[in-house]
Structure 1
């Protein structure tokens, strides 16, 4: 049973009442005036004979005394699970609304999106340069993000932390390509492991951005000459789409 404290209990029928207003309404409806404080746990007992629901043992006992009905079906576990599911769904909905508000200003114009991400204007491909490898790489990046989302469907916060962290890596390198500290990640770093490193698809995404494992595998490193603004812009765009469509 769920150990939920309540304010009042009706001494006439045993009904649990979770507020003074509820007690007043109960008194008005049934002319019951005998109320006392109670800490009896709320449960959900359904009378098998008439279908009346009792919210505590005392209430079900008094129902049996009045009606002679003695068979009850305990729905407590079902109700608790249903409430937990609704809470998870509500959290996901709140997260989606928050993301929508966060990205609302970016969806109208691509340039505003680049500004919010802190990325420079999209580079122009040189004459004769093929866009196919970049498109293929972007699709692989998107697949990495889908892997993260699918493996953690029940933990929206963990997914969002991972996507935000990956976007931060792309943003920092695009803004400060000469700063080595943004191009070097210690794989064993606790914060990195918690947000990205232990997630399947996380390190693979960074490798598609241009990071390489150093000898010994202690770090992910992106040489200055391998910084590719086209790739970083593509990574940020893929991430922004994933964040906007969780």
Structure 2
């Protein structure tokens, strides 16, 4: 079956002739066309005779004019596409050239909606004025035509019949292209489309490169900010460590001063005046003195034990924190259930205990400060019921809570 239309492979539009395909290609830059046995739809309005090529056009026409009846003349108007049509005779071409060069373009009265024209004439408008109003208002409605007349009633040509070029003759006068010209035109359109596609790809590549550069800069800036924040955090940590060390030294100094004052009071010596200058050799003399120093309490020994554990494993924060939490669980279970022997007895060889507490320097020592004792076989730690001291257990719990919650605990 012969082809009745040309289909655009890019957008799917159906075109009636090679000339329409060329115009479509120039407007849309599409270049992929093929013959189709499907005819271009031709729906003619039974009221005003306007042809429509698609359902969309009929809907728009109905919306503008109110005309809803259309006659399908698709097959009546369909003509086979002739891609190999021979060029017209030179004489005919000469006549056309003479017409284009010597004769003026044929002008005709535009087609308007006859029913709207009759209504305007019945209202008293002259035929020329009504025709002009309907043509320039788009043949849409009586209201639009009357509004146009009201806006242009002072025009000098308001009562002249409007004339428009004869589009049918213009279309008929268009020269047909030879098959060679059609092929050359198609090749030109394809080449233009290829160049446009390459240009678009280069533009997209430039955009992608700009995006990669932007993302790289953002990553570098984010890394710089992260390193700066880490540096500030380390500086703050060191500052806090120094402050904690200074507080500890000040506390020890005050404790020594209090002990010294207490010893002077017991010996019946007067209090030392604050402004009295101390000799340079005083620290040496104090070291050589045989005055006994008050021994550290069990709570302080527990704190020192936890600090020692953290310092011996300073690069294993997660392991140290898990050990503190495990010790807190042991102490809490005994404090809540002092009569339950299962909470007061720990198997030292248990793999879990060894991994969490036993293998860490100071873990078992802390439990022994809390009252646990090794049995003779060395396999168990046992806290006898009569040696459960709730005050010591509470102190141990407080020290463990402090070690877990204080990020600077034990960092000297």
TM superposition score category, shorter chain reference: 0.3 to 0.5
Q: TM-score, normalised by structure 1?
A: 0.48
Larger Rg: 2
User: Whose relative contact order is higher, 1 or 2, with alpha carbons under 8 Å and at least 6 apart?
Assistant: 1
